[in-house]
Amino acid sequence: MRLLIVGSLEGHIATAGQIALDKGAKVAHVDDVPAALDALRKGQGADLVMADAALDISELTEALKSERISVQVVACGIGNDSQRAVQAIKAGAKEYVPLPPDPEMIGAVLAAVAEETTSFLTHDPNMVKVLRLGERVAPADASILITGESGTGKEVMARHVHAKSKRADKPFISINCAAIPENLLESELFGHEKGAFTGAVSRRIGKFEEAHGGTLLLDEVSEMDPRLQAKLLRAIQEGEIDRVGGNKPVKVNIRLIATTNRDLEEAVRQGEFREDLYFRLNVVTLDLPPLRERPQDIELLARHFIEKYAAANDLPEPELAESAREAMREHDWPGNVRELENAMHRAVLLAQDDQITEDCVMLKPRRERESTDTASAAAEQPASQQGDDDAGANAVAAAGGGAAANADDGEDGDVRGLVGRTVADVERDLILNTLEHCLGNRTHAANILGISIRTLRNKLKAYSEEGVKVPSPNEADRASA
């Protein structure tokens, strides 16, 4: 665990630092927000930032977000100042810790960060088998390819492998290849020198250098541009990278893990992914089964998330009624563990009399989903070769028809409900409604809509430019905070 303390913590920095050291953390200290950002840009790295609440927390969190530096921020201030605590949380801090620091509180925060990033809950034989394989290969330095549907826990598995490896005390660095525009991804991976391009006001250490000695996770590697695939292959083969604008190679020592929810062998056949890179990444494959194929984990995970969100919302922990358990067994979980987590968060908020009932989980039974999927497939069949955008339009038509068919207008209700509206209007409503249902999670929404995440992002950008309110990508993160 790497802890970066920012500011004086109102005179308690030495105490807080010593407590963290006693708990096994590696502690660094800087005086202010600019110094913290400079340290992180230079690759110092941190799993947790503990910042003085007297500093500008929003400046820190917004800079971390804009520069895609993934690290949790905890604010610290004197006493239980509720107003300052609320301000810090609104500014983007994950927690507020009162000062002077309490050893148990500091220990709990460090443990929570460690558990959130490395724990893997399962007792279903289908998943236990994959988990055991991951633990067997963890001590080696071989590259690992983790496959599975969106929401199955690929990043959690990657962190678990890192925690079981001989590099566990070194950095674990993750980068989502699909979430970063192509023109910025090279700089994010390999870093850049000052003046390398417009806006490069200082040297920036890339993810490869930041992960030196540890593990680098390339999330959704299948979305990487072919030009960058060639540079990635060289970095793996030679153990060195070139910063953008640099004039000499930089040696790196990393263990590489990649994830994808696509069939990479098919992508290779289609010429969309380099075959030589595929073989470099695919030394060991961990194929995570979808939640519907690991039924013994559903209630185990549900109870874990119930406990988590009851505590986060300062609510009593409700019981799962039999009707809720039955609804979960009947649901096929297209969004997998991520969908289950969102459902339990919602259920905790809706629970009454300390009970989570079927009405609280709000899930559609499998038989209803199968009926809807059959209707959608029939609607999509004539245009099956038209690509992501047309598939999205077909899904819109199917969904619109299905919803209207339940109205009191009779057989023609679905037609009348769409007459006078353009396909683009109906498509926009479906995309935004799906995104809202997914609490802003782009990957989950794209999976449900049957389009690529890149297509979804392009459409959302167009909607925003038209003045349409688009759910923030951080709503899911805030919901789980």
Same domain, 71 and 97: yes
Residue 118 lies in a domain: no
- Do 421 and 439 fall into the same domain? yes
Shared-domain flag, residues 403 and 255: no
Pair 135, 283 in one domain: yes
* Any domain includes 81: yes
Domain-terminating residue out of 287, 322, 344:
287
Number of domains in the chain: 4
Structural domain contains residue 194: yes
Domain range for residue 389?
373-479
Shared domain for 273 and 137, answered yes or no, is: yes
Answer whether residue 119 is part of any domain: no
Domain endpoint, select from 287, 314, 337: 287
Q: What is the CATH number of the domain that holds 27?
A: 3.40.50.2300
Same-domain pairing of 466 and 399: yes
What pLDDT was estimated at residue 109? Answer: 79
Look at residue 368 and tell me if it is in a domain. Answer: no
Same domain, yes or no: 295 and 206 = no
219 located within any domain? yes
Q: What's the CATH number where 331 sits?
A: 1.10.8.60
Residue by residue, pLDDT tens for the chain (481 residues) are 788 999 888 888 888 888 888 877 788 889 999 999 888 877 677 888 999 988 999 999 988 887 777 788 999 888 777 788 888 888 888 888 888 888 877 877 777 766 655 567 888 999 999 999 999 999 999 999 999 998 899 999 999 999 899 998 888 998 988 888 777 888 889 988 887 777 777 788 889 998 999 999 999 999 898 889 999 999 999 999 988 888 889 999 999 999 999 999 999 998 889 999 999 999 999 999 999 999 999 999 999 999 888 877 778 899 999 999 999 999 999 999 989 988 998 899 889 889 999 989 888 765 555 555 544 444 444 433 344 444 444 344 333 333 333 333 344 444 445 566 677 778 888 888 888 877 788 877 887 777 878 788 888 988 887 888 888 775 443 443 4
| Whether 401 contacts 376, CB under 8 Å | no
Q: Please state, in angstroms and rounded to a whole number, the distance separating the CA atoms of residues 478 and 481.
A: 5
52 and 164 together in one domain: no
Same domain, 302 and 213: no
- Identify whether residues 80 and 229 lie together within a single domain: no
**Are residue 74 and residue 198 in the same domain, yes or no?**
no
- Among 69, 85, 111, give the residue marking a domain's end: 111
Asked if the structure places residue 401 within a domain, the reply is yes
Show Cβ contacts of residue 441 under 8 Å, excluding neighbours closer than 6 positions.
Answer: 338, 342, 435, 473, 476
Question: Is residue 401 located within the same domain as residue 259?
Answer: no
